Amino acid sequence: MRCAMSWVACSPMGPGAILRRSRKSKRLRPTKRPEPRSASGPGGESCCVWVNGVEVMRDYQVVVIGIGSAGSRAAMLAHQGGAKTLGVEGAERMGGLCILRGCMPTKTLLETGHRLHEIRDAGRFGIEVAEPKLDFAAMMQRMRSLVDRFARAKVSGIEGAGYPILRGQASFVDEHCIEVDGQRISSDSFVLCTGSKLMPMPVPVEDGVPMRGSDDMFLLSEAPKSCLSLGAGPVALEFSQWLARCGTKVTLCNRSPLLKKAPAAFGEELAQALGEEMQVHTGVLVQRIERTEDGRARAIFRDGEGKELVVEAEIVLNGLGRVANFDGMNLEALGLDPHAVEVDSKGRSALPHIFVAGDATNDKQILHEATLEGARAGRNVLRHLGLLEGELEGPDPRMPAVEAIFSDPPFAVCGRLPAELDAAGVEYLVAEKRFPQQGRGIVVGAQHGLLQLIAERGSGKILGCAILGPRADDLIHCVVVAMGMGASVREFFWLPWYHPTLAEAFIEVARELAKRC
């Protein structure tokens, strides 16, 4: 049995309008809203339910499963575009991974670690201080308080968006029907924004080994005496350095060099910097992890020459990354891979009415990418339903990819780097500047770091940039904006750069490239 409900789109055109795009303009224009169907069954009985005071139909045009960064954006745009939209959230707490167990709590803890390091390093700047004392419990409480603050703001925005949200685990019954806690709901289309989960260990792990994931780090009551950290992505690098600065003896192991997608100099420089605070082993592959008699972990590694490395630690951090999470969704019934749903460039699965966005795509698991993908999915599902004119859209080719790791020194990259350009046969030039030899870098005491700017040979068009050094996570956006505007190194160079700043490093590399192009 299907149902309908009366609803009002959050549109500046008022309750009698839905939004379409004009053929002559990309601006949204109103068209007449279709009449809603009856909210009663054939016998006059109600076939609707009420959720948090909102009437919920069992017949929707769009159901968004997972209301985090991607899902909340997709659901909001679908609703504002005139589609009958339902959000379904299966997590115990709303807010999304970034706020609850990702970006924000991690950066909060890292900030304390950075402050500790700065105090201990103050002697270089003529400041005499005693060894700082860390109040671990107070640090963790500050983290939880800020998470609560960010979550309240996020949930307030979601709840004020105007579409109903049903809490519970969604499972597909067929291609157009899901079941949530025993209630069946049909929909013309779906957007899957179910996020990610910890990547499972690829090798045998003995029962009782004290394995920890990123979520577990936020539950610590004290710093472990020692930690073996596996991986070299943001999770492994950031948590490893935080623990090291909290007094933990950290050993970081990874089978590949650090920052393997960047030119080798970046990974070597970061390994040197981190090596001052922890042991770093690259080129080693974990074989198995055992439990010692005293309850610790013992991991056995082998390098490329077959040499064995044994590391013991109080805990093991699985920092290998995250994978798409479709647990419990019964995607097998739809003929979709329950571990990794393949999507095209428009975010659409093999079933044309099912879209995927955010971490669930298994692509770039970054908040701004999730938000962009969620927005595209919201617009594309409207096009699929005929509520928005035009072809389905993919990523904007003008928009450069950007990523960052909040280590110390931080690393950031945008656009395309040499390995990708070589594979594509693009001719390019590279200019480099080291922060320990740059004016403001010398003043702030930078001991590590370099910047590389990449331009197309001939045209001078900026193709990419990699930065390892102080404020790299902020500096990279100078290049992101320039690339988004299609700027050349000549235009970049002629911009005013205030003195003395770290950003002045761009003057030297842009000037060099402009001369060589």
Which pLDDT tens digit goes with each residue over 101-123?
Answer: 999 999 999 999 999 999 999 99
pLDDT exceeds 50 at position 269: yes
Compute the residue count for the chain: 517
In DSSP terms, 302 is beta-bridged to 285, 308
| DSSP code string of 376-441 | HHHHHHHHHHTSS-S------TTS--EEEE-SSS-EEEEE--HHHHHHHT--EEEEEEEGGGSHHH
Q: Which helix (H) or strand (E) holds 289?
A: strand 284-291
Q: Is the pLDDT of residue 32 over 60?
A: no
pLDDT-derived band at 205 (thresholds 50, 70, 90) equals: very high
Nearest Cα to Cα of residue 491 among 473, 471, 470, 517: 517
Residue 448 CB contacts under 8 Å (≥ 6 apart), including other chains = 269, 270, 272, 273, 409, 435, 436, 468, 469
pLDDT above 60 for 6:
no
For residue 78, the model assigns a pLDDT of 98
At residue 490, φ and ψ (nearest 5 deg) are -65, -45
Residue 45 pLDDT greater than 80, yes or no: no
Task: Return the pLDDT at 401.
Answer: 94
pLDDT tens digits, one per residue of 241-267:
999 999 999 999 999 999 999 999 999
Half-sphere exposure for 472 (CA within 13 Å, toward CB) = 31
pLDDT at 68: 96
Please report the pLDDT score of residue 200 as a whole number. Answer: 93
CATH number for domain 48-97+140-198+324-385, candidates 3.50.50.60, 3.30.830.10, 3.40.30.10, 3.20.20.60: 3.50.50.60
User: Tens digits of per-residue pLDDT, 123-149?
Assistant: 999 999 999 999 999 999 999 999 999
Nearest by Cα to 324 from 366, 360, 358: 360
Q: How confident is the model at residue 398 (pLDDT cuts 50, 70, 90)?
A: confident
Pull the structure tokens for residue 233: 């992505």
- Angle, vertex CA 14, rays to CA 9 and CA 20, nearest 5: 65
The Cα 48–Cα 46 span in angstroms is 6
Please return the burial class of 289, using the count of CB atoms within 10 Å of its CB with bins 0-12, 13-18 and 19+.
buried
What integer best gives the mean pLDDT of the chain?
89
% of the chain exceeding 70 in pLDDT: 89
Given a cut of 70, is residue 283 above it in pLDDT?
A: yes
Among 41-55, 140-154, 216-230, the range scoring the smallest mean pLDDT is 41-55
Which helix (H) or strand (E) element contains residue 323?
strand 322-324
Average pLDDT over residues 481-495: 95
The residue among 464, 470, 360, 299 whose CA lies nearest residue 65 is: 360
Q: What is the pLDDT of residue 58?
A: 52
Angle at 368 between CA 491 and CA 67, to 5 degrees: 160
What is the CATH topology of the domain spanning 402-516?
A: Enolase-like; domain 1 (3.30.390)
The distance in angstroms from the start CA to the end CA of the chain is 68
**Better-predicted residue by pLDDT, 505 or 18:** 505
Contact status, residue 267 vs residue 288, Cβ threshold 8 Å: no
* Homologous superfamily of the 211-320 domain (CATH): FAD/NAD(P)-binding domain (3.50.50.60)
**Among candidate residues 248, 261, 311, 306, the one with its CA nearest the CA of residue 281:** 311
Q: What integer pLDDT is reported at residue 48 of this predicted model?
A: 52
13 has pLDDT over 70: no
48-97+140-198+324-385 and 211-320: identical CATH topology: yes
Amino acid 28: pLDDT: 37
When pLDDT is averaged across residues 217-223 and rounded to a whole number, the result is 97
- Tens digits of per-residue pLDDT, 408-420? 999 999 999 999 9
Structure tokens at 205: 């792990």
The whole-angstrom separation of Cα 455 and Cα 441 is 24
| Distance in angstroms (rounded) separating the CA atoms of residues 20 and 259 | 44
β-bridge pairing 177-180 and 170-174? antiparallel
The pLDDT of residue 67 is 97
The pLDDT score that the predictor gives to residue 290 is 97
pTM summary value: 0.87
Phi, psi values for residue 364, rounded to 5°: -80, 110
Domain ranges of the chain: 48-97+140-198+324-385, 211-320, 402-516
CA dihedral 409, 410, 414, 418 (to 10 degrees): 40
pLDDT score for 365: 84
Query: Which pLDDT score, from 0 to 100, does residue 363 have?
Result: 86
Q: What is the mean pLDDT of residues 351-355?
A: 98
